[in-house]
């Protein structure tokens, strides 16, 4: 059963479904990766071919979501690209006592980005002054983010002062893991959200993090995703991408660049 091969014709159908659902352009070199990730689902259902699985996801919405969960790449870690957290620290430090700060971690994966942001802003702002929303298309990573339990090895990336304040070492069944202190969670929400669609229900933000996800999209999808996302950004608000990404050739008129990877929305 585990010897099943995904043929080119079937792979093309998966490529199309994944593109239509997520905007992710999977190159032909990703065939083996798709094959190995989806074999697990095929084994779970004791199916005999990729074609059976293809037919199944077309009539079963839940399994289509599961298929997408298998395909997305969710690599993340705490305080990834420290420059951005220093930027947020400065922002929080200089905020006047009457203002509120809302930050959106769009494509939040398992929540390391959102919790890192929370640790920084909680240091400077009162609880009623900040809110963070994390969204991702992958329903499994959203579940993990809500729980906030991570392998102990991940704690190393967290600056000591935050580690001591917000990370609880697991004992017994949780040995080898740490939990982000639940006192932060009251100000953080994690929800399913597809970047291909405008997120109407989550309101406007002062800062949006959209990092390490644009790389999966072609230029047309990048433009669409950025326009969707910045429609939730207040004028004057900040839009942050990864240090390894850029908005070259995209001609997003609403944004001006302030620094590498940091943009400001200047018009509607
Ligand atoms: C590599 S992770 C980046 C996580 C985090 N932003 C960081 O920089 O560490 C990319 C995330 O984008 C999500 N993603 C991919 N396509 C998406 C889409 N169309 N809508 C929402 N999230 C998407 C994936 O599920 C994955 O969790």
Cα separation of 239 and 152, whole Å?
A: 31
DSSP string over 123-191: HHS-GGGEEEEEEES-HHHHHHHHHTEEEGGGGGGS-HHHHHHHEEE--GGGTTEEEE-TTTGGGEEEE
- Best probe residue, ligand 1, of 24, 37, 71, 72 (max atoms within 8 Å of C-beta): 72
pLDDT at 225: 98
CATH class of 8-71: mainly alpha
Give the start-to-end residue ranges of the domains of the chain. 8-71, 82-265
Q: Are 101 and 91 in contact, with CB atoms under 8 Å apart?
A: yes
Q: Whose CA is nearest to atom 19 of ligand 1?
A: 22
Cα separation of 164 and 117, whole Å?
A: 16
pLDDT at 7: 97
pLDDT at 3: 74
245 C-beta neighbours (distance < 10 Å), count = 15
Give the residue ranges of the chain where pLDDT is below 50: none
Residues lining ligand 1, CB < 6 A? 22-24, 72-76, 80, 107, 109, 113, 136-138, 141, 193-196, 211-213, 216
**Superfamily of 82-265 according to CATH:** Vaccinia Virus protein VP39 (3.40.50.150)
């Amino acid at each position: 059963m585990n010897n099943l091969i995904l043929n080119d014709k079937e792979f093309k159908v998966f490529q199309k479904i994944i593109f239509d659902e997520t905007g992710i352009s999977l190159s032909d070199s990703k065939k083996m990766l798709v094959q190995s990730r989806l074999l697990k689902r095929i084994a779970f259902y004791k199916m005999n071919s990729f074609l059976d699985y293809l037919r199944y996801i077309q009539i079963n919405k839940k399994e289509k979501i599961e298929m997408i969960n298998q395909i997305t790449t969710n690599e993340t870690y705490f305080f990834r690209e420290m420059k951005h957290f220093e930027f947020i620290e400065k922002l929080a430090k200089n905020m006047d006592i009457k203002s509120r700060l809302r930050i959106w971690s769009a494509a939040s994966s398992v929540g390391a980005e959102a919790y890192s942001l929370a640790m920084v802003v909680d240091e400077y702002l009162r609880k009623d002054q900040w809110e963070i929303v994390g969204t991702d298309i992958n329903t499994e990573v959203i579940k993990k983010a809500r729980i906030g339990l991570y392998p102990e090895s991940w704690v190393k990336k967290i600056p000591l002062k935050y580690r001591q304040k917000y990370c609880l070492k697991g004992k017994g069944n949780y040995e080898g893991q740490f939990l982000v202190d639940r006192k932060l969670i009251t100000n953080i929400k994690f929800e399913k959200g597809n970047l291909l669609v405008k997120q109407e229900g989550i309101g406007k933000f002062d800062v949006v993090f959209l990092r390490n996800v644009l790389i999966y999209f072609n230029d047309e999808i990048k433009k669409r995703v950025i326009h969707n996302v910045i429609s939730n950004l207040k004028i004057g608000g900040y839009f942050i991408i990864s240090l390894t990404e850029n908005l070259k050739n995209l001609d997003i008129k609403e944004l001006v660049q302030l620094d590498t990877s940091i943009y400001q929305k200047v018009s509607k």
